[in-house]
Structures are given as structure tokens and as C-alpha cells.
Amino acid sequence: MLCPNCQAPMSEQSLTGHLSTPVKIDVCFACQAFWFDGYESLRLAPASVLALFRLIGEQGATKPVKPSDQCCCPRCHMRLAPTHDMQRNTRFEYLRCPAKHGRFTTFFNFLREKDFVRPLPPEQVEDLRRNVQSVNCSNCGAAIDLVSGAECSHCGSPLSMLDMRQAQALVETLRQADAEKTLDPSWPMRAEQVRLETEAQFNAFARQTSWAQEASSGGLVGAGLSSLARWLKSR
């Protein structure tokens, strides 16, 4: 399948859905986005959500290809329609096929949909300003001038970071899945360690120049995910 945005071949990922049904999705790493046929995003099992969480983190904090307003459905070639949606109290957006063949969503909005992202609180915005003057938007990659504000002037997304409380909620779901022998028994303990270590990093990021530089180039969400992926890889 070709990416609706950059027209490069997408990478197919085989995952597991609810009730152990197979789910295959397509990924464009250059655009940092997924193509979901139909309602595949809603069918993902918790372990598959975690797999995509790690996949996003392993890409590093890089700037995505800028989204185009000419994206077309890879199935029927109709123009994709911008769509705004809400999951719980979190707003997210994506491009959907008018013929309901599927949708194209960025990594950032996928994390929003799964409630993994929250706006950066004012005190942490101030801490970030002490280290860097601008940060690339985690959604569209445009530069956010921290001197003038804490929102992207291009797409309107606020400065955001991973919400590790939601990550812990996923761990609890995975613990239940583990009882059905669908998951490595060590995952709940390991994931709790990840949560604590990552929260410590976020709380001290103002004193970590290298982390601030990574956040500046690739966005706060990307930097946090990269940090998680490195930790998991070292275990």
C-alpha cells in the first residue's frame, strides 16, 4: 500500500485484535502515521496498543513529513476528509475516507485517541523555556516558539507530553490479559519500572540538556517515547 500523504510504500504490521482476531495495519515511518482499514484502531487488543506504543518510540524523535491537504484514500482514491473526534475527554483528529474504507492518523493523534498524551502544565513549560527557545510540534513537526506561546501556530496543538498515568492504566489492563496467558508475566512489573523511571525523567528534564535538545528537535512526545523505547531495549 502507498502512503496517502507521501506516496511511499507503507510497512504492514501484523497485530492481534480482541478475541485474538488478526489485525493488519499499515505504517508510514516518514510521515509518522498509520492507515487503519475500517475500525481496526478500535479492534486492537491492549498488547497490540503497547506494541504500537513501542514502535512509535523506536523511531526516535524525528520531524515527520508535513501532512498534505491532497491526501487520497489508498483503496478508492477519494480525497480524505479532515475529521475531529473525541475519546473520553481528549480531542484528536484524522483523515477519513468518505466511502468508509479507513482513516489516516498521525502517531501523535493515535496516542491522543488512546489517551496517552496530555498538555504540558504551565510550570513545566517555564522549565522548558530555560533550556530551549523552540520545540517542534509533536503533531505536525512545525516549530513552536516558546517565547511567544505554548501552542503550535500551524495546527493549534498545545505542547504535550506522555501521560504516564494512562500508561499505568494500560499496564493494569495488560495484567488482566496476562491472567489469560496472552502476555509475558514479567510485563506488569517491568512496565511499572518504566513508568517510575520515565516520570523521574520528565520531572527532571529541565536539568537534562541532551533530553531537552531531543525534545526540541523531535517534540516532547517523541522524546518521551524514545526514552521509553531505549529503556525497554536495554532490558
98 and 126 fall within a common domain: no
Residue stretches of the chain with pLDDT short of 50: 178, 181-183, 202, 205-207, 235
| 5 inside domain | no
Number of domains in the chain: 2
DSSP 97-147: -TTSSEEEEEHHHHHHHTT-EEEPPHHHHHHHHTT-SEEE-TTT--EEETT
Q: How far is CA 26 from CA 31, 34, 139, in A?
A: 12, 6, 19
| 56 inside domain | yes
The pTM of this model reads 0.74
| 2 inside domain | no
CA distance 210 to 135: 14
84 and 142 fall within a common domain: no
- The residue segments making up the domain with residue 60 are 11-113
Show which of 70, 87, 113 is a domain's final residue: 113
Distance from the first to the final alpha carbon of the chain? 34
**pLDDT tens-digit map of 143-163:** 888 888 888 888 888 888 877
**pLDDT tens-digit map of 46-92:** 888 878 877 887 776 567 787 788 899 999 999 999 999 987 777 88
106 and 150 fall within a common domain: no
